[in-house]
Amino acid sequence: MNKIALYTYDSKGNDVFISKHLQAMEAFVKRSFGDDAKYDVFVDKTGLRGDREEFHMLMENVRKRQYTLLVVPHINRIYKPQYDMEIFMELVAEIENCGVQILDISQGSTPQEISCHMNDHIEAHTLNLPLSQ
């Protein structure tokens, strides 16, 4: 059984933006894992360089192996690679090394479709390549 976490943030605390992200992630989870799927929601209303309390709680739970899936509206919700690529790659690696699959819903409509695109997506960030939308 999947243990699912949803995470997003908005640096300006825009509730409409956050609400759209949450609705999209919740719809994805229900479509992919059924209406009864359980998930925990983590939302920060601060910039990536600010104190992201919810993200820190999420990472504590990831380290305790409480999740198998992390659903994000875009991979840069974890950390913006343009700020510091090394930190971005370390966070992605830590999450994956704890047995958590990251599902960036901007990359597809099913977990299988997303999995096919995620490595290319992360590599494009690493190489500073433009990302296809």
**What is the per-residue pLDDT for 124?**
59
User: With contact defined as beta carbons under 8 Å apart, do 63 and 5 qualify?
Assistant: no
Is the CATH code 3.40.50.300 the one for domain 4-127?
Answer: no
**What is the per-residue pLDDT for 131?**
46
Scanning the chain, the segments in alpha helix (DSSP H) are 15-33, 53-63, 85-97, 111-127
**What is the per-residue pLDDT for 114?**
74
User: With contact defined as beta carbons under 8 Å apart, do 8 and 25 qualify?
Assistant: yes
Residues 36-50: pLDDT tens digits?
999 999 999 876 566
User: With contact defined as beta carbons under 8 Å apart, do 89 and 126 qualify?
Assistant: yes
Q: Could you give the CA distance from residue 23 to residue 15 in angstroms, rounded to a whole number?
A: 12
Residue-range domain boundaries for the chain: 4-127
Amino acid at 82: Q
Residues 6-27: pLDDT tens digits?
999 888 878 899 999 999 999 9
Distances (CA, A) of 123 to 27, 70, 89, 114, 119: 27, 19, 10, 14, 6
**What is the per-residue pLDDT for 128?**
55
**What is the per-residue pLDDT for 48?**
57
Low-confidence residues of the chain: pLDDT under 50: 129-133
- Statement: the pTM of the whole predicted model exceeds 0.85: no
**What is the per-residue pLDDT for 47?**
63
3-state secondary structure of 21: helix
Q: Could you give the CA distance from residue 109 to residue 113 in angstroms, rounded to a whole number?
A: 7
Q: What's the mean per-residue pLDDT of the chain?
A: 85
